Amino acid sequence: MDQLHLISLFLFVLFLLLGSGVWVGLALMGVAFIGMELFTTRPVGDTMLTTIWSASSSWTLTALPLFIWMGEILFRTRLSEDMFKGLSPWLAKLPGGLIHTNIVGCTVFAAVSGSSAATLTTVGKMAIPELRKREYPEHLVIGTLTGAATLGLMIPPSLTLIVYGVTINESISKLFMAGILPGIILALMFMCYVGIYSKVAKDFSPITEAKTTFAEKLKMSRFLIPVMLLILVVIGSMYAGIATATEAASFGVIGSLLLATMQGSLNWHTFKESLMGATATSAMIALILAGAAFLSLAMGFTGLPRGLADLIASMDLSRFELLMALLVFYIILGCFLDGISSVVLTMAVVEPMIRQAGIDVIWFGIFIVVVVEMAQITPPIGFNLFVMQGMTGHEMNVIAKAAIPMFLIMVLMVFVLIWFPDIATFLPENMRQIASP
């Protein structure tokens, strides 16, 4: 059977299982099982058990539940309220006003969360009522918040980057460093859009904020100190080479527990809820990773990844053409699968392609995260759209339409990464030199 027929069979079985409501991780295992049973002579059961155990017992993977738990703890604190109080005096006079609190708030929380949904919920539960009270355009409020929350997938600690790093066996710390500058640049691009919109749109006429003195702004900034210290501990310890990603995640959990205690929001109920929430999310991701590891092994035995890589190579695509093909592919895939599932499902096939094309795997990690971010706000499966619908009660098409400008900015960000690849590679290539005295 040739490669195209083989991949068609795999895709048919995969979407048949997913369409019947089978969990993503189990669907991946099912495809791998059928592939090995039909096209190899190896003992499927023993191989599956060994692969699942190896994938689940990875030391690198221990950072994942810790970062998830950190985000769950912070989600149950008054962090969003404090961030709004601390940021609003500084941002009120910018073109676009307090809409910028959506973007900056998401950027800040993304640096201690790693989850797009947690970022959206935490920032949104405070920002949406306050912005509505000040009569900001509703579509701009929900659009910027839905789009900016995707920064939780890029700015470290990013769960998607952890999964990507584990899947291709690459340094998590380097991937985290690679995500910092692109994440900040994407946030600035969102802010530029808001500023331009505020100047040209006729429906932008919010209530003017009262003037505050510089001393008052500094006083309100005290609310940002705890979260900024937490970011410094988590990201700074990795950047300085003091801690690995797993150790930094441990610092983050301890710091978030201390922050919740100081705010008076930590009790047995919230502790248990955060722990159970982190356990459920971690178990879901671990099952997907285990299924993807088995599928990758099964595909390797069938020769599919290398065959497809050779097929792509025979097409003589340039680096740019390959990236454009992958961009379209992941956008389409993101309409039906969440970001983590998209990454682990495709890496067995895509990794040989990009390595053969001479594409830096660290840079490609940031490329794929930007494209996966788009999947969070594209119907019908865009997860941020569902979260926003639950928070606002708007119809899905209304939220998706409001998020279109953010989607287009992310597409532009892909081209910025292609034109200026050093944006993603500078920090990981130089972090040791910069960190050393």
Gap between the Cα atoms of 237 and 224, Å rounded? 20
pLDDT tens per residue across span 61-111 = 777 788 888 878 877 777 767 777 888 888 888 888 888 988 988 888 888
pLDDT value, residue 187: 93
In the DSSP assignment, the letter for residue 94 is S
Q: In this structure, is the dihedral angle defined by the CA atoms of residues 364, 382, 293 and 18, taken in order, positive or negative?
A: negative
- The position carrying tokens 């081209």 is 415
- Exposure string of 40-74, with b = 16+ CB inside 10 Å and e = fewer, is eeeebeebbeebbeebeeeebbbbbbbbbbbbbbb
Residue 421 in tokens: 């690849």
pLDDT of 88 reads 82
- CA end-to-end span of the chain, whole Å? 58
Q: What residues contact residue 275 under an 8 Å CB cut-off, 6+ apart?
A: 69, 72
Give, to the nearest 10 degrees, the angle between helix 79-91 and helix 116-133. 60
Token pair in block for residue 34:
């059928």
What is the reported pTM? 0.79
**Sequential DSSP letters for 99-122:** HHHHHHHHHHHHHHH--HHHHHHH
In this predicted structure, which of 104-108, 140-144, 182-186 has the lowest mean pLDDT?
104-108
Flag the least confident range among 198-202, 300-304, 362-366: 300-304
The two structure tokens encoding residue 410: 């992310």
Task: Outline where 207-244 has alpha helix (H).
Answer: 214-220, 225-239
Maximum average pLDDT range among 117-121, 126-130, 197-201, 306-310: 197-201
What letter would DSSP give residue 157?
S
Q: How far apart are CA 62 and CA 23, in angstroms?
A: 22
Place of tokens 């027929």: 5
Q: For Cα atoms 177, 408, 126, give the angle at the middle one, nearest 5 degrees.
A: 70
Q: Among 106, 193, 169, which Cα is nearest to 409's?
A: 193
Q: Which residues contact 354 (CB under 8 A, 6 or more apart)?
A: 322, 361, 364
Q: Which residue has the higher pLDDT, 36 or 255?
A: 255
